[in-house]
Amino acid sequence: MLFKKEEPKEEIIDKFRNLPSRKLSEIEKQLIFIMIEKSKVQRERSLAIFNKGFLIFIAFIIIAYLGKSNDIIPASYLSFLFLFAVIVLIVSITLYERTIKAEESNLNALLDSFLK
């Protein structure tokens, strides 16, 4: 990882001073741009899945609350509904975190390749 908390600020600045002075070709620039855009698309897709999972969680909680307060839904179905809502929320958070970590490692590897 490039920016570690234990690294002093001077070491980080030195890494940027030691960047290669060669110019990037147009193909390399386009490739970097495409990689960054792909990363953004994956992050947005992951965020959309997280948002949908959160909305499903909220919907299930509202349905469970209304079902319990009006005695429409039996208690066994309420517990199943609540359990399913929690599972959906956990899965959506896990998928989001996994995608963010993968993108962060890809971008760090790209940055490290330029710094060496």
Instruction: Return the percent helix, strand and coil in the chain, to nearest 5.
Output: 80, 0, 20
**Eight-class DSSP state of 7:** S
Q: State both tokens at 75.
A: 């208690």
pLDDT digits 0-9 by tens, 98-115: 999 998 888 888 777 766
The answer to whether the Cα torsion of 69, 73, 77, 82 is positive or negative is negative
- Neighbouring residues of 75: CB distance < 8 A, sequence distance ≥ 6: 68
- The tens digit of pLDDT for each residue in 25-46 reads 788 788 888 888 988 899 999 9
